[in-house]
Structure 1
Amino acid sequence: MTRKNPPSPELIERFAAIVGASHALRSPDDQAPYLTEWRRLYHGRTPLVLRPGSIDEVAKILSLASESDTSIVPQGGNTGLVGGQVPDESGAEILVSLARLDRIREVDAEGYTLTAEAGVTLAGVQAAADEADRLFPLSLASEGSCTIGGNISTNAGGTGVLAYGNTRDLVLGLEVVLASGEIWNGLRRLRKDNTGYDLKNLFIGAEGTLGIVTAAVLKLHPKPVGREVAIAAVESPADAVALFDRVKAAAGGAVVAFELIGRRGLEFVLAHAPGNRDPMATPHPWYVLVEIASGQSREEARTLLEAALGEAIEAGLATDAVVAESLDQAAAFWRLRHMISEVQLHEGGSVKHDIAVPIAAIPAFVEEATRAVETLIPGARTVPFGHLGDGNLHFNVSQPVGADKAAYLARWEEINAVVHAIVRDHGGSISAEHGIGRLKRDLVASVRDPVELSMMRQVKRMLDPKGILNPGRVLIHPDD
């Protein structure tokens, strides 16, 4: 239930006193970095940005918010893509940034765990694990700025899901401040614990609507001894799926990533991101990026990868392949993949879809969705890419060349409806890894079973009875 009456001046002073004047941001210039999401679809207003420096301060903020019926929007690194982390336009919501909660509390190398506060960047968690000769495998294009609290709150996926799972699979325990201001200390390091309900999973992927995650115990993994990366050219998504099956059969659990890249997406990167090169001498309609890791040696990883790709070329599943000859070249291959989302900004309006379908359905989905979009808007340019190995594609649609951007983006919901109908036909999901936020909130009821939706609303009502936590995100408040 989004409240449109801003907090009174007296109440604002009470909130500000919790964190101190220097961490209670009021001026438009100081607030600006917190109020616009990365894709610039949402521009919010707030009377106050609070930057608590301790768990106790977060608890005091929520206790006062509960007492005063004030809406709170939690924010991590502000890299979310569905508008869940910025306040709305009413000016009634107070934003709470977790950026100052940035300590690595503990690294237990022997137990393969790391305890980090919510404001630690993903890159910071990765570095702390690396220093202990361990691996934290979550990897995203925004890892230098996104925070672990945000990753947990959105159940981020990334490029390592195939081998290591989503963020949910990498969390052992949580510390959470509830809407009442109570602190739940669930920072358990146990791999096995069947004592009642697994409450942490309520908060993972809840996007700050049930509580504010302030710290987490994360699972670490052994560092691979050798990693090899290659790009292979294929004629179609169907060939890419067949190639994935062959690579998995040859390398099994050693396959860390298997990413689909269309030619149009690659051309966007080459046109708008200086310093990148076409990986092959001649263009191809589709590519896959493959990464294989070995716990034994780089030679083993390379042997597995070269053998699988060689067999695929002989079988006609791939037309060409290039294995990276150095770490720099491997990074360059990955940069081609990671830049696709960013460079679409230079091609005008882009309507995004973060979908998942069964892997076997990917070729049919790409064909049907492309045809439907091009029929709806002649000249629209589809840019499918993403995590083929786990069924998650980013099916983005760039405006026709020379079209009016505003007029094109005004058809966002129309394009969504066409694409999501095909997703549903294939038993898929309209949100694979980016979350719901504000962007997809009104679609939830159309894709969730009524009983499931009722249970979600009951959980929200129980943990946040006043609807103060990130109101209007994920679900419409149960009492609306």
Structure 2
Amino acid sequence: MMQGLIEQFGAVLGKQYVLTDDADKVPYLTDWRKRYTGKALAVLLPKTTDEVANIVKLCAAHHVAIVPQGGHTGFCGGATPDNSGNQVILNLKRMNQIRAIDSANQTITLEAGCILQSVQEKAAAQDFLFPLSLGAEGSCMIGGNLATNAGGTNVLRYGNTRDLCLGLEVVTAQGEIWNGIKGLRKDNTGYDLRDLFIGSEGTLGIITAAVMKLYPLPVSQWTTLVATDNIASTIALLTLFQKRATSLLTGFEMMTQESLALNEKHFPHMANPLKGNPPFTVLIELSDHESEEHVRKLLETILEEAFSANLISDAVIASNLSQANTFWHMREHITLAQAEEGANLKHDITIPLSSLESFIQDTDSLMRQKYPGVRIINFGHLGDGNLHYNIAPPLGLDPKAFNLSHEKAIHELVYAQVERCQGSISAEHGVGQLKLADLRAHKGAVAHDLMKALKRALDPQNILNPHKVVSI
């Protein structure tokens, strides 16, 4: 039966776009963190929405599960198949066309397989900004960004991927095509199906195209690194910039001393230019549509006020674009430094800004009491309360052995503190299979059961990315 299905896939896509040899499938079977590895009946590479729809119809008829996949850069195993070998991977990388740029409406219509960086570049060539920006932007794809409601460094000003999306094209679990490709900023006609599919990680439908917002390119951007002594001063600094710079504030990233020390260990050219590698280093970016002089003067004025209020102890303003990029690379390389150091326990969490100081102080203290010598690699998008609160074992201990022994207890400790502060256990990485078991306790029984009811209603055969986000 399966051989016959493979032949039918070939009839839809062309045999060269149905990968069944083990060597050809390998690049699609392991997640970016190398935490999950599965097996697949085949890897399918469609080019059009009609091809996706026909593949889904075939899978529905044969009760074969589908794992939608984009750039495969996720952190929660959401695009990795299970070990049964009976699932097919539907990778959308060949669906990479930009269908239209509407300058008057300030929108771009594009397919799910478009690489994020290429979208940024296409928009810039038309004097527009596409503000979604992630560390993986050179390989992640728009479909995956939408499926996980990705965040990134510009959420403070422009919002998550959900906030940038106006319309979607989606293939349902029955192989029907929902054409919601509209560039409307107002459409009050019942349930918002767009928001239902965004963030669903391919469990309710397969996103094949989208209409996304564009913005005018800023005339000038100024970037600075500043030193703060504690988290209270860091939050006060954020408040000051929000009051003085308002919408011109487009980046506010926090990095701890331990995070940047690890960075410098593995990437010596990424040394912190601030004196003494302070307890907290904050990367701040202002973007302006008026003039370079205006935003530079505003930045200097706010920094002077911060010095006077003893909120900061040092500051370095990037003198050119190259130095500004170096500052951003420091922030982005922390994740790479962790990978070089070895396996670590990641927590992508959101905390209300009013509870952030309490969370960091209490969780740090509890973690160090229970696991002496543990290294806390805490950094993130402080402007929107998103911390990447990661745990590395004490020096000299085997990372894999430490994680195997303590992962469950460390997750429980962190998540209990998140719940105490009324935060979220997933800010921008999604749920996937990594947080599947934790979701019911975090969301609450009512919310979790509503999610399961939606899954049953839209995908009664449970063929779309089963055992991800919710299990039915």
Deviation string, structure 1 residues 409-429 (Cα, Å, up to 9, x no partner) = 212121100000000000000
Question: Is 1:475 matched up with 2:460?
Answer: no
Structure 2 equivalent of residue 56 of structure 1: 50
Map residues 425-464 of structure 1 onto 2, 5 A cutoff.
425-464=420-459
Query: For residues 372 and 90 of structure 1, what CA distance do their matches in structure 2 show?
Result: 40
Structure 2 equivalent of residue 387 of structure 1: 381
Question: Is 1:354 matched up with 2:351?
Answer: no
Q: CA deviation at 1:275?
A: 3.0
Q: Give the SS at the match of 2:31.
A: coil
Question: Is 1:424 matched up with 2:419?
Answer: yes
Question: Is 1:235 matched up with 2:229?
Answer: yes
Map residues 195-234 of structure 1 onto 2, 5 A cutoff.
195-234=189-228
Q: CA deviation at 1:281?
A: 3.5
Q: Give the SS at the match of 1:350.
A: coil
Aligned length: 471
Deviation string, structure 1 residues 221-256 (Cα, Å, up to 9, x no partner) = 111111000000000111100110111111111100
Question: Is 1:27 matched up with 2:24?
Answer: no
Deviation string, structure 1 residues 92-128 (Cα, Å, up to 9, x no partner) = 2110000000000000111100000000011111111
Structure 2 equivalent of residue 375 of structure 1: 369
Query: For residues 94 and 268 of structure 2, what CA distance do their matches in structure 1 show?
Result: 34
Query: For residues 28 and 325 of structure 1, what CA distance do their matches in structure 2 show?
Result: 51
Range moving further from structure 2, 181-190 or 16-25: 16-25
Asked if the contact 2:45–2:94 (Cα under 8 Å) also holds between the matched residues in 1, the reply is yes
Query: For residues 88 and 46 of structure 2, what CA distance do their matches in structure 1 show?
Result: 13
Counterpart of 1:469, as a letter, is L
Asked if the contact 1:349–1:408 (Cα under 8 Å) also holds between the matched residues in 2, the reply is no
Q: CA deviation at 1:14?
A: 2.0
Structure 2 equivalent of residue 286 of structure 1: 280
Counterpart of 2:393, as a letter, is Q
Q: Give the SS at the match of 2:277.
A: coil
TM-score by length of 2: 0.98
Which of 61, 64, 72 in structure 2 is aligned with 1:78? 72
Map residues 104-253 of structure 1 onto 2, 5 A cutoff.
104-253=98-247
Q: CA deviation at 1:405?
A: 2.1
Query: For residues 322 and 379 of structure 1, what CA distance do their matches in structure 2 show?
Result: 32
Asked if the contact 1:16–1:50 (Cα under 8 Å) also holds between the matched residues in 2, the reply is no
Structure 2 equivalent of residue 465 of structure 1: 460
Q: CA deviation at 1:274?
A: 4.6
Q: Give the SS at the match of 1:287.
A: strand
Deviation string, structure 1 residues 180-217 (Cα, Å, up to 9, x no partner) = 00000000111111112111000000000000000000
Structure 1 equivalent of residue 323 of structure 2: 329
Structure 2 equivalent of residue 3 of structure 1: none
Asked if the contact 1:66–1:180 (Cα under 8 Å) also holds between the matched residues in 2, the reply is yes
Query: For residues 425 and 163 of structure 2, what CA distance do their matches in structure 1 show?
Result: 21
Deviation string, structure 1 residues 62-88 (Cα, Å, up to 9, x no partner) = 001111110100000000000001111
Query: For residues 165 and 366 of structure 1, what CA distance do their matches in structure 2 show?
Result: 24
Unmatched tracts of structure 2, length 5 or more: none
Query: For residues 374 and 21 of structure 1, what CA distance do their matches in structure 2 show?
Result: 56
Unmatched tracts of structure 1, length 5 or more: 1-6
Asked if the contact 1:162–1:389 (Cα under 8 Å) also holds between the matched residues in 2, the reply is yes
Asked if the contact 2:226–2:274 (Cα under 8 Å) also holds between the matched residues in 1, the reply is no
Q: CA deviation at 1:393?
A: 0.4
TM-score by length of 1: 0.96
Q: Percent identity?
A: 46
Q: CA RMSD in A?
A: 1.1
Query: For residues 91 and 369 of structure 2, what CA distance do their matches in structure 1 show?
Result: 43
